[in-house]
Amino acid sequence: MPKITLLPPCKSLSSFVKNYQYLEFDTEQKDLIKPWHALPEAYLVFFLNDRPLGMVSEKGRSLFEVQSNIWIQGLATHFNGLMKFNGTYRIWLVQFLPSGFQRLLGLPLDGITNQLVDAEGIWGQKCSDLQKRLQDSVKPEEMAILVDAFLRNFISLKNLHNEKDPITIVSNEINRTQSFANINVYAKKANMSTRNFERKFREQVGTSPKLYCQLLRFLHAVELKSALPQKNWTEITYECGYFDQMHLIKDFKRFSDSTPQNFFLNTPPPLVEYSKEPREFSIG
């Protein structure tokens, strides 16, 4: 059974990083296929043992092979293929807040949407050294301390001040409340023209405000059905804010290349053991 441990970042990173995730699983010498469907989140990913074999199309055609043990996973705005796993996996993930990746690391997020980028090619030896230290660690708490130290190197007065910039405030509000309004409403809250707001939002969050809201709604539907499989699709349609079931089906086809029923038939929610580890901070 896959095991996921969730940990918070240190306090000085809490305006950039949503959480850390430590994932362990063994495919028991069988191929495990997981879809890379639309996802409104960016990650920094460390593979500490085996890494995915590659990405394949639904017909089994190889799309690319994974060459790196450390990658940046940008937002996914559509179905990108099927990730193939076979082996024993220990994976450390840094999940960023909507504008946290761009503000902390200084890389425009819209440039890596629907891409997996080799992180070692960007940060070089420092990134490789962290990878080795994580591989040598056993306890998630120890790993979190190592990643805290690595990411704190990117903190500056500039990006700390940007914590209160308009795009960060609006994108965090959208993410937190899951309530979606017209783009003109958000632009007004940010005290920007609609055109400037959309441009800045794309750069910092990775896609347009409208599409970001649609991605959040789709993910909410996936997570709700995964957590409560007894719920029927009519209930999920209205709980997630869809006008009707046809709009939900349209989003599933657009973002997962599948109908809702086939999505969960072909990719049933795995039995996962979740745990949360609180952390004590003296400073940070």
Does residue 225 sit within a domain?
no
Residue percentage of the chain with pLDDT more than 90: 71
Does residue 44 sit within a domain?
yes
Does residue 30 sit within a domain?
yes
Does residue 220 sit within a domain?
no
How far apart CA 273 and CA 152 sit, in angstroms, is 30
Does residue 214 sit within a domain?
no
pLDDT over threshold 60, residue 245: yes
Q: Mean pLDDT over residues 248-256, rounded?
A: 96
Domain extent for 36 = 3-156+271-276
Q: For the chain, what's the residue count? A: 284
Does residue 197 sit within a domain?
no
How many other C-beta atoms lie within 10 A of the C-beta of residue 140? 19
| Environment class of 99 (CB within 10 Å of its CB; exposed 0-12, middle 13-18, buried 19+) | buried
Does residue 150 sit within a domain?
yes
Q: Mean pLDDT over residues 251-278, rounded?
A: 81
The CATH number linked to 127 is 2.60.120
Q: Mean pLDDT over residues 9-21, rounded?
A: 95
Q: How confident is the model at residue 178 (pLDDT cuts 50, 70, 90)?
A: confident
In this structure, the dihedral spanned by the alpha carbons of residues 222, 228, 232 and 235, taken in order and rounded to 10 degrees, is -80
Q: How many domains is the chain partitioned into structurally? A: 1
pLDDT over threshold 80, residue 284: no
Does residue 99 sit within a domain?
yes
